[in-house]
Amino acid sequence: MLFTLKNLSKQRWSWLLLAASALSLELCALYFQHVMLLEPCVMCIYERIPMIGIILSGLLGASAPHNIVLRLSAFLLWAVSAVWGLLLAIEHTDYQFNPSPFATCDFFPNFPSWAPLHEWMPWLFNPTGDCSEIVWQFLGYSMPQWLIVSFSIYIALFAVVAFFALLGAKK
């Protein structure tokens, strides 16, 4: 078991599994938006970006799992995306459970002028909902609360896989 964990980051299937899990969550978000007609808010849109970062990290790691530079880049992208996503989900949950007229999310996304994602791909990045409104729950948890769970799992998996990758590197 330890031998397998040491080499997990060098296996293409593990990186593809990471990408597939994040892609499935992203597809769920699109299902909620386009089939169930739940309107995503600005925070929902912002939370999609770190999830896409996790998809990209999985694809990057899978592209050449034995290449140390690409593998380290994939690890870095995975860690940054998971932590960033967790922080956004926590902020979004705060908007929902502590609504205040003084602390609200933006009406329009604040993307850089050189990358107006909401104009390039409005079907994916155009917010139309209210951040403080809870429009969906499962087992008593709202969508951003489930994202806290998801991003926390990604962080925990990162810690385990990175730890054993470092352990395997020290021979």
Residue 162 is predicted with a pLDDT of: 87
Q: Which two structure tokens, joined as six digits, stand for 124?
A: 């994916």
Low-confidence ranges of the chain (pLDDT < 50): 1-2
Residue 59 is predicted with a pLDDT of: 97
Residue 171 is predicted with a pLDDT of: 52
Query: What is the tens place of the pLDDT at every residue in 31-73?
Result: 999 999 998 999 999 999 999 999 999 999 999 888 889 989 9
Residue 169 is predicted with a pLDDT of: 57
Q: Number of C-alpha atoms within 13 angstroms, CB side, residue 158?
A: 23
Let me know if 10 is exposed, middle or buried by CB neighbors in 10 A (0-12, 13-18, 19+). Answer: middle
Residue 133 is predicted with a pLDDT of: 80
The model's pTM: 0.87
φ, ψ dihedrals at 128, nearest 5°: -135, -5
Catalytic site residues?
Answer: 41, 44, 48, 105, 131
